[in-house]
Amino acid sequence: MRALVDEFSALARFPASRPQLASLNQLVEGALVMFNGRLEGIRVRTELAQDLPSVMADPEAIKRAVANLVDNAAEAMEDAMLKEITISTSLVVSRDAVELAVSDTGQGVSRDLKERLFLPYFSTKQRGTGLGLAIVSRIVEDHRGSIRVEENKPVGSRFVIELPVAVEAVSA
Ligand SMILES: Nc1ncnc2c1ncn2[C@@H]1O[C@H](COP(=O)(O)OP(=O)(O)OP(=O)(O)O)[C@@H](O)[C@H]1O
Ligand SMILES: [Mg+2]
């Protein structure tokens, strides 16, 4: 999978991440600005935890990751009555990590698809490349983080990225 994504990356000149000391909340706010006016009919909420420690993050890469997740969330809610995206951040004390979650009220992800979503070229959409989540995975990997998908309550899905707290912030 890595090889496939790398192949695509080379083609599209998708740059490798260059993490720097950053505030995840600021990156989220920055990513949201890109969506101004593009999420018609969708309510977007943020629940950003205060006093989060810094992470090592490449601002452009993290914004790209959030954008890909929000695009998917919006597409998953096309036929939904309730259209709501929640972007939240929080501290995961047990793992010295900071969590970024994008939740939607869309169709959700079935159990058997769960494992395949992150593979390059896996798509259930007529015109999907299936690279959106593969790129997110690659970015998360570049940051030594993790990504998973869960059920959102009461409906929809929730994509959760964890990034390690920056060493500077852990020792502080
Ligand atoms: N929020 C979501 N809710 C439900 N299913 C999702 C969600 N996000 C992704 N998926 C599923 O995962 C598949 C892969 O997503 P991915 O972003 O990699 O590709 P895509 O969205 O199909 O294509 P592209 O990103 O190129 O538009 C989607 O086709 C869809 O089936
Ligand atoms: Mg996508």
Report the C-alpha gap between 29 and 37 in whole angstroms: 15
Residue 92 falls within a domain, yes or no? yes
Q: Poorest-confidence range of 33-47, 94-108, 133-147?
A: 33-47
Average pLDDT value for the chain: 91
Ligand 1 atom nearest 123 alpha carbon: 29
Between residues 25 and 37, the one the model is more confident about:
25
Report the C-alpha gap between 154 and 144 in whole angstroms: 31
Ligand 2 midpoint to CA 111 (Å): 18
Average pLDDT of span 22-26: 97
Quote the pLDDT of residue 11.
44
Q: Which domain holds residue 154?
A: 16-171
Residue 49 falls within a domain, yes or no? yes
Ligand nearest to the CA of 83: 1
Ligand 2 midpoint to CA 172 (Å): 38
Q: How do 157-164 and 97-104 pair as beta strands?
A: antiparallel
Report the C-alpha gap between 106 and 101 in whole angstroms: 15
Residue to mutate, 77, 87, 112, 133, ligand 1, most ligand atoms under 8 Å from C-beta: 133
Residue 11 falls within a domain, yes or no? no
Average pLDDT of span 102-117: 95
Residue 146 falls within a domain, yes or no? yes
Residue 115 falls within a domain, yes or no? yes
Residue 5 falls within a domain, yes or no? no
Q: Is residue 117 scored above 70 in pLDDT?
A: yes
Residue 155 falls within a domain, yes or no? yes
Report the C-alpha gap between 172 and 169 in whole angstroms: 5
Ligand 1 midpoint to CA 16 (Å): 22
Domain count, the chain: 1
Average pLDDT of span 47-53: 97
Q: Is residue 24 scored above 60 in pLDDT?
A: yes
Quote the pLDDT of residue 7.
56
Quote the pLDDT of residue 146.
98
Which of 44-61 are b and which e, b meaning 16 or more Cβ less than 10 Å from the residue's Cβ?
A: eeeebeeebbbbbbbbeb
Ligand 2 midpoint to CA 74 (Å): 10
Q: Is residue 30 scored above 70 in pLDDT?
A: yes
Residue type, 99: E
Residue to mutate, 72, 140, 161, ligand 1, most ligand atoms under 8 Å from C-beta: 72
Residue 61 falls within a domain, yes or no? yes
CATH number of domain containing 62: 3.30.565.10
Ligand 2 midpoint to CA 21 (Å): 28
Ligand 1 atom nearest 130 alpha carbon: 19
Quote the pLDDT of residue 34.
86
Residue 4: pLDDT band with limits 50, 70, 90: low
Protein residue whose Cα sits closest to atom 12 of ligand 1: 117
**CA 102 from chain center: how many Å?**
6
Ligand 1 atom nearest 72 alpha carbon: 8
